[in-house]
Structure 1
């Protein structure tokens, strides 16, 4: 496979040859191969590595499956996903890992299966391959069974550090939630309840523990610019989710409970500050926290509706739209969706368009902007909080040399566990 005259994120125009599962050669006027793709005027990017998804299986296949979630990922230019542990059963030991791996075999994109920690179980057995990571350890609060307190958090971080295993932290301190708003029923009540200070102080604590143990943590779905700054000053890493970049409390009147997630949406001023930190390099990566629920589940009061929104298919298109408008560079989009993710999570063969790297590629027309519509997306939940916003959608997506998505159609492919 040869991509002819593709524009790379840094503006260079090059031919990119793929042989087998890898990028074989990058240059000018390379010899045409059996399948030559005219990429003139098109942008070729490394596939997005989404370090934070909830594909819901096992246990919640009414919301999403590995098949539908992976297709949604591929259609959005995502070639690798990290699935989080709060399924049913939660992924906390070898048995639950093997059960989830059976479902993950349906994925057409590559994947990692992260393990978790519970109140009564600290991972000895889990801290070995093939899992190799603790995903979304909930510090002080939880949306389900995965929440742990401070003492167990420190114990888990220390054990993970001893095994050289990354820890992803959901940082919110429930002690700082505002109980005085519990009598409100408006859509903004959830944001008022789960305060910004609850996140900021939990991040400060997580970074303090990590520093004391001479280890590192990765802070998930950071929603406040103050929290991002704490992470940066501590020398840790963080991710931001698209909903905290492109939505704010100003959107809740229209979104209703479709806009309920954890951490919640913040003020428009904070949202703008988050985007500026994305542009200037303070934020390390973008990860979607793709957490679909059915519309029927979301059709409830603000205190009863489940938290979470889909996003794996729309993240890269939304970022590319901002690049098209000149608000962020294509190089930054490449780095926060691929190169930086691979570096943080030690994926040595992914995240770059370089000879010898996995041929995980996304081809887009950077001038073709489209309105995002739920009825044209592929998540099983069949809705998006970004309805009506614009994005630059992939024309084709390649996973290790196989075209898995092209012009609206999918091909079969065996996704690989990147930690196996």
Structure 2
């Protein structure tokens, strides 16, 4: 047994949390627990459920020069993420049994728990995917995101119906390429802002409306990935879907292109400051369901290209929770809202019933932080294989300790806790598939 004593939860309660380390579960939560075995004094520290990042690209197989399961999951653990959901656009894409099995072999190197999403292409094999522990379908593209047009509507309907039959969520990348503005692209030329002018806000809202309409016809569970506009968020919620917002759409806007250059290119693109503020309001007031990172690392050499040639995507798995905790420290968000956005709500959306909360009987996926220990974010200090961040110079509140199923997987080298045996920053890679 391990007891975390005097910890402050997101709702302000000060409690002891007892962990059955052999079972990886929380054995008790209360103010009068008897202590047995090792213990940690967490007086003055905030104890959060580990973040469930429902949208990452750990790049293996096929693109290990950008990221690996080992480096990506270390970065996750150092940022307080205890579960990740990997998307299927690897090489080969995760669209059948053989490709799923191959990715699952790479995922065995993970320090954190994981889900693997199945992809949808004309060659996909739903029977084989659903015969395996596939968490959800996604990221299903209604977009021109990877250099090829998104899937046809008939195939999207097929995927939605198959997922519904198997009680799986369909995660949708929603941009209608027919509404991209070619004239704006020509006017902007090679200006960095051209990417945002080209991939219009209207394209997102229209695709969200289409996706949720098709989903409603099949009584499906539709989850809209990386909504970047208030219109997209509102369309998702009006259609009965859940939605996520990324940290880069929450904290960055088109005004940051002068500093970011092509390192700020992603899909959907950065939006106006006015739209960013409106999205933040929807995150703060409870409209948005979850924050997920769309962690999509590329090398510096790859990103250092023209706005039309640079690949889309930015890293973010290590900085998401710290950025949100910094907003809570500044009282722009409540700690309870951060908890719900990063843990409780993702668990509900994706059916991870044993995760996302600090309650007796649930998995001991926990993050301990000093809520006042704000520090500057620097790419060179992060653990992703990609050594840069779009949030360079911003501030975050980083974890001192991250536990996955009662196992300490990360400990900040400057933090010392009696009863915790961890050499260096990282302990053992213990990640498991969340569907078993």
User: Structure 1 regions of 5+ residues with no counterpart?
Assistant: none
Partner Cα distance (2:147, 2:185) in 1: 20
Partner Cα distance (1:243, 1:361) in 2: 25
Partner Cα distance (1:328, 1:51) in 2: 21
Matches within 5 A, 1:242-261: 242-261=247-266
Could you tell me how far 1:132 is from its partner in structure 2? 3.8
SS in structure 2 of the partner of residue 124 of structure 1: helix
**Residue 104 in structure 1 maps to residue 107 in structure 2:** yes
SS in structure 1 of the partner of residue 336 of structure 2: helix
User: Structure 2 regions of 5+ residues with no counterpart?
Assistant: 414-424
Partner Cα distance (1:348, 1:67) in 2: 26
SS in structure 2 of the partner of residue 148 of structure 1: coil
Could you tell me how far 1:33 is from its partner in structure 2? 3.4
**Match for residue 7 of structure 2?**
6
**Match for residue 85 of structure 1?**
88
Partner Cα distance (1:226, 1:146) in 2: 23
Matches within 5 A, 1:360-371: 360-371=365-376
In structure 2, relative to structure 1, the CA distance for the partners of 1:165 and 1:294 (3 Å cut) is: same
**Match for residue 315 of structure 1?**
320
Instruction: Answer yes or no: is the 8 Å Cα contact 1:119–1:146 preserved in 2.
Output: no
Could you tell me how far 1:145 is from its partner in structure 2? 6.2
Once the two structures are superposed, what CA deviation does each residue of 1:244-300 show, in whole Å capped at 9, x if it has no partner? 000000001110000000000000000000110001100000000000000000010
Could you tell me how far 1:133 is from its partner in structure 2? 1.4
**Match for residue 418 of structure 1?**
434
Partner Cα distance (1:121, 1:345) in 2: 22
Deviates more, 1:126-135 or 1:304-313: 126-135
Instruction: Answer yes or no: is the 8 Å Cα contact 2:10–2:48 preserved in 1.
Output: yes
Could you tell me how far 1:147 is from its partner in structure 2? 3.0
**Match for residue 417 of structure 2?**
none
**Match for residue 393 of structure 1?**
398
**Match for residue 178 of structure 1?**
181
Partner Cα distance (2:132, 2:301) in 1: 38
1:383 pairs with one of 361, 384, 388: 388
Deviates more, 1:196-205 or 1:161-170: 161-170
The TM-score, its normalising length taken from structure 1, stands at 0.98
Deviates more, 1:179-188 or 1:394-403: 179-188
Partner Cα distance (2:412, 2:143) in 1: 45
Partner Cα distance (1:129, 1:35) in 2: 38
**Match for residue 145 of structure 2?**
142
Aligned length: 420
**Match for residue 25 of structure 1?**
28
Could you tell me how far 1:122 is from its partner in structure 2? 5.5
Partner Cα distance (1:63, 1:140) in 2: 23
Once the two structures are superposed, what CA deviation does each residue of 1:96-117 show, in whole Å capped at 9, x if it has no partner? 0111111100001000111101
Could you tell me how far 1:123 is from its partner in structure 2? 2.2
**Match for residue 68 of structure 2?**
65
**Match for residue 75 of structure 1?**
78
**Match for residue 158 of structure 1?**
161
**Residue 197 in structure 1 maps to residue 207 in structure 2:** no
**Match for residue 349 of structure 1?**
354
